[in-house]
Amino acid sequence: MRQKKVKLRQFDYFGVRNMKVMKVLCPACGEKAIIRTTNRKHRQFADLYCQCTDLECGMTFVLNVTFSHTLSPSAKDVNKMIDKLLPDNKQMALDLLKAPIA
């Protein structure tokens, strides 16, 4: 059986153009499906309760969405590390950044 891939499509929503939205397809008939409920189990894992839009099919199913891996690290992580430094270490890092380049 051929696996169906989740597709992203462009969407015009509240005047925002080219916003990417996850397109869910019914595993039984291949028609569009609507996400009815999201049950977030963890920051990186959720169950999406979906329903097929084809009235003849009407299948309901659960889709598992999970975080896989990072392609580009967040800049916020660096800020968190700096905030956790002791005051003396923060000052030393600031002095190193202000030092002239040799």
Q: Give the C-alpha separation, 79 to 71, whole Å.
A: 19
pTM: 0.57
- 68 lies in a domain? yes
Structure tokens at 5: 């891939």
Sheet order of strands, 7-13 included: 7-13, 16-25, 32-42, 45-52, 60-66
pLDDT in tens, 3-58: 555 555 555 555 555 567 789 999 999 999 999 999 999 999 999 999 999 999 99
- 17 lies in a domain? yes
- 1 lies in a domain? no
- 90 lies in a domain? yes
DSSP string of 32-69? EEEEEEEEEEETTEEEEEEEES-TTT--EEEEEEE---
- 64 lies in a domain? yes
Quote the number of domains for the chain: 1
